[in-house]
Amino acid sequence: MFGFFECEDSPETAHALLAAAEGWLRERGRDRMVGPMDYTTNDEVGLMIEGFERRPIILSSWHHPYYRELIESYGFEKAVDWLMWSLHISGRSRVRDAIWRMADQVESEHGIVCRPMRKRDLDAEITRFLEVYNAAWERNWGAVPLSEKEVRHYAKQLKPILDENWAFIAERTDTGEVVGAALTLPDYNQVLAHLNGRLLPFGWVKALYWRGKIDAVRVFALGVKPAYQHTGIAARFYQLHFEAAERTPQKGGEMGYILETNRPMNRAMEGMGGEIVRRFRVYERVW
């Protein structure tokens, strides 16, 4: 893999960077380059090829439009695209009735309850999230399992911005087994945009003010263990997101990254009245 690609609009410079990465990989017996990924599919994925007019949302990348030509001119070809969907509470009337019916039957028919994550018990909640994450995403293209150490690191980073209105756990009522999880984050990029990179001496005052003005979220991860994907847990998570939007300042946001090949999830986004607003491409070059 290669990642963290940043370059001026110069094919010569770009090709020198990519050639250096290729040489490093060849020395280690690799037969291809895949990327950009910073570092794996658990982090920022792909090169933005659509959605340049939108401000970057939390934990996602923004790239200059000319990057695509620089990378493709080196001989890279498409491996797979990842999609970001936009959803808004005003679109609730466009949601298919079948989604609401499935959501309403999760507890009564399957004995599964969906509850908010408990910030005060974050260490235990993160362990529960890890269990779901590695099971739900293991068959995805390019999937890399998260270790407990990595999850603890992410938890430490995300705890200051975690909002219990937007994070959920699904559990069986009989055994307590965790079978699904959804982690959505308020778009703190909206706060950072006003700080000019400085928290001191008075940036923290601005941060407190603009935190209350955040009007969007990003669905960072939403997954269900394979054995329970027929139960409607995902639909219940979608329903909880609409309910959260009704009681918070955040009235919509973006969901992704979602593989273009993930038909069930993309159909669900269509069923929710969503719109594809960004596209990120992972490239591959084989020698």
Q: Which helix (H) or strand (E) holds 105?
A: helix 97-110
**Torsion on CA atoms 74, 62, 139, 113, rounded to nearest 10:** 180
240 domain residue, yes or no: yes
Q: Which residues of the chain have pLDDT under 50?
A: none
pLDDT tens track for 57-89: 998 999 999 999 999 999 999 999 999 999 887
Instruction: Give the model's pLDDT for residue 94.
Output: 77
Q: Which residues contact 270 (CB under 8 A, 6 or more apart)?
A: none
Q: Of 84, 111, 142, which residue constitutes the final position of a domain?
A: 84
Secondary structure, 3-state, 109-173:
HHCEEEEECCHHHHHHHHHHHHHHHHHHCCCCCCCCCCCHHHHHHHHHHHHHHCCHHHEEEEEEC
Asked if residue 127 and residue 53 are part of one domain, the reply reads: no
Query: Which residue segment(s) compose the domain that 46 sits in?
Result: 11-84
Domain final residue pick, 63, 84, 105: 84
Q: Give the integer Cα–Cα distance in Å for 78 and 47.
A: 11
Does residue 123 form part of some domain?
Answer: yes
Residues 206 and 122 in one domain: yes
Distances (CA, A) of 240 to 19, 48, 76, 207, 265: 47, 30, 41, 27, 17
Same domain? 148 vs 256? yes
Looking at the fold, whether 79 and 102 belong to one and the same domain comes out as: no
Mark whether 24 and 135 lie in a shared domain.
no
Residue 35 lies in a domain: yes
Contact 285, 74 (CB under 8 A): yes
Residues 96 and 217 in one domain: yes
How many other C-beta atoms are found inside a 10 Å radius of the C-beta of residue 126? Answer: 22
Is 230 buried (19+), middle (13-18) or exposed (0-12) by CB count in 10 A?
A: exposed
Which of the listed residues 39, 62, 84 is the one where a domain comes to its end?
A: 84
Judge if 69 and 156 occupy the same domain: no
Amino acid 248: pLDDT: 93
**Residue 281 maps to a domain:** no
Q: Same domain, yes or no, for 42 and 171?
A: no
The predicted structure's pLDDT at residue 153: 86
pLDDT in tens, 112-121: 999 999 988 8
Does some domain include residue 3? no
What CATH number is associated with residue 265? 3.40.630.30
Closest CA to 56 of 277, 287, 285, 284: 277
Whether residues 174 and 224 share a domain: the answer is: yes
> Are 59 and 176 in a shared domain?
no
Between CA 279 and CA 47 the distance in angstroms is 8
In a domain, 265, yes or no: yes
Same domain (yes/no): 70, 105? no
Based on the domain organization, do 59 and 106 belong to the same domain?
no
DSSP bridge partners of 178: 171
* pTM as predicted: 0.90
Total domain count, the chain: 2
